[in-house]
Chains A and B, each alone.
Chain A
């Protein structure tokens, strides 16, 4: 409720304005929903079109003009066919292994590094922090050649380690965790130290449980990065047994370039895991993006 003076003003205006006001408000609401609907069509339309193709049966001409949006006799037959055409479960497993380790190592290494940067004073602290932040400006595309050569030297070609290690720590993650640690009261460290806790114990037992929201943000951010990554796996993998989902799907389109039903079905299947994760965690996804941008 507003201030009393605003209240009286509103009341005196009501008699002559109610009707036009209501109509205006209704029109505004309808317009808003129309706009929301149009944007929705633009955003998910391409995926729905793909889904429609995946549901079309073999006797239906998918290249007909005008295109038909609703399959004549919808069938699920393309999905098992796609699962046979590319080893979806193997690629899914690879994607999960890579994502779990990338996320886990980032949570661990980033919060380890962030702790002294946020809560200790030591020589070279500012320089180290500045160097870490500067890595955000260096495009991976400049580094991909030497990293590839380096990974070959280490024998990391076609290995999970090769996929995971280059992304195992990010400057963004260190920055995010440092922000989280800075906001906690310093008395926590002091009293724990009085009780004889070591720095490691303070970090693990006291501080880490208090920064869970930031850990969730970092986990989601890293997960999306790892799950969708295409360029690095493309470079470091040539053994198709090691392919992650994006690479597997890309290979499928190469193999069956003319069979659009199969490609569409494969695409829809490979979208399912991320859509499920997103549906469960969408609130955190959207929060994570803002934390990442506004503070990073």
Chain B
């Protein structure tokens, strides 16, 4: 039964070659580039921390950074909380519930381009959203959702939430289905109302899922690109521009590859910080509930 000691490595070769070539090598390359003035035209020069210095003095960089954090702070709580209620809603034994689960998932599988176009049309000045708000008497003049500096960022945030709801709902649904029904029966016998059942049974037992969703949605929020590129292009007046769109423009429109790489490294560091914070906080909460 002698085995070739190289066998395990041979199985790993194709996958690791791809990951090496398209993740580890580019990762090191990105860090290196962030210390150079590479622009695809002239030979790159090592410039030390100059890119980072320029970055931190660029008002637009700070603006997009703040807007990225606004995105995060707005979108993450919505995507952590709202899908819980959706999951509870579709976790009931009702006729046709499978149909509703699928329908709520449709935005998830639709490409960002179609979703973006659909929402541009909803947000149009003469569009359906302004009409609905008008007939309910909430507004008396149409709001220029995507073309006003006051609303563009928030209008796109709402679409991000809308598109993510179904995905996180399904994650919670799996969590809900692992909660033993005896716990609810016991709560019923104790005379608990719906809200007590949710806050005392569902939420605590859903903590692992809540942690996963908050980590996933904050990483996703830091990387937001498609919806902004498609619906507003970062405008008006950069009011909806976020970090990844800024990196994209610096790199592929202005060819400031070195400078854009420095912004990418900043993005990476912030993403890591948020992931770690999330895991820490949620880990604590979970243990305090169990303890």
Interfacial residues, chain A to chain B (CB-CB below 8 A) = 29, 32-33, 35-36, 39-40, 42-47, 49-50, 53, 63-67, 69, 108-110, 112-113, 115-117, 120, 122, 125, 128, 131-132, 135, 137-150, 165-166, 168-169, 171, 174, 193, 199, 203, 224, 227-228, 230-231, 234-235, 245-247, 249-250, 253, 260, 263-264, 267, 270-271, 274-275, 278-279, 282, 285-286, 289-290, 293-294
Contact = CB atoms under 8 A, between A and B. Distances in A.
Given A47-B106, A137-B275, A122 B5 contact: yes
Contacts of B8: 116, 120, 122, 125
Given A47-B118, A112-B15, A289-B170, A139 B112 contact: no
Nearest to A29: B94
Given A40-B100, A116-B7, A174-B15, A278 B126 contact: no
Contacts of A110: 15
A47 B109 CA distance: 13
Given A139-B271, A228-B111, A249-B113, A65 B121 contact: no
Contacts of A144: 247-248, 251, 264
Nearest to A113: B15
A293 B106 contact: no
22 contacts: A33-B94, A40-B100, A40-B103, A43-B162, A49-B122, A65-B126, A67-B128, A113-B14, A115-B11, A142-B267, A143-B264, A145-B33, A146-B261, A147-B26, A149-B257, A166-B18, A169-B19, A227-B111, A230-B113, A286-B170, A289-B171, A294-B171
Interface in B235-284: 244, 247-248, 251-252, 257, 260-261, 264-265, 267-268, 271-272, 275
B195 interface: no
Contacts of A64: 126
B73 interface: no
A6 B84 CA distance: 31
Contacts of B165: 43
Given A63-B124, A65-B126, 18 more contacts: A32-B94, A45-B128, A46-B118, A46-B119, A49-B121, A113-B16, A115-B11, A138-B23, A140-B223, A143-B22, A146-B25, A150-B21, A169-B14, A171-B19, A228-B109, A234-B229, A274-B109, A290-B171
Interface in B108-148: 108-115, 117-119, 121-122, 124, 126-128, 131, 135
A67 B12 contact: no
Contact of B92 (A32, A141, A247): A32
Contacts of A247: 113
B167 to A, nearest CB: 6
A67 B106 contact: no
A137 B162 CA distance: 24
A146 B86 contact: no
Contacts of A149: 29, 40, 257
Q: Is the interface of B mostly helix, strand, loop or mixed?
A: helix
Nearest to B168: A293
Given A132-B19, A245-B111, A267-B114, A193 B122 contact: no
A275 to B, nearest CB: 7
A12 to B, nearest CB: 15
Given A110-B15, A141-B264, A286-B105, A267 B118 contact: yes
A174 B14 CA distance: 12
Q: Is the interface of A mostly helix, strand, loop or mixed?
A: helix
A225 B42 CA distance: 35
B14 A293 contact: no
B110 A271 contact: yes
A139 B174 CA distance: 26
B106 A43 contact: yes
A137 B272 contact: yes
Contacts of B92: 32
A147 B267 CA distance: 17
A36 B92 CA distance: 11
B15 A169 contact: yes
The 4 A-B residue pairs with the shortest CB-CB distance in the complex, in nearest-first order: A113-B15, A116-B8, A146-B29, A146-B26
B177 to A, nearest CB: 9
A158 B257 CA distance: 20
A50 B121 contact: yes
A165 B19 CA distance: 10
A53 B122 CA distance: 11
Contacts of B213: 293
B223 A139 contact: yes
Contacts of B112: 228, 230, 246
B45 interface: no
Contacts of A49: 118, 121-122, 128
B285 to A, nearest CB: 18
B1 interface: yes
A147 B27 CA distance: 9
Contacts of A274: 109-111
B16 to A, nearest CB: 7
B198 interface: no
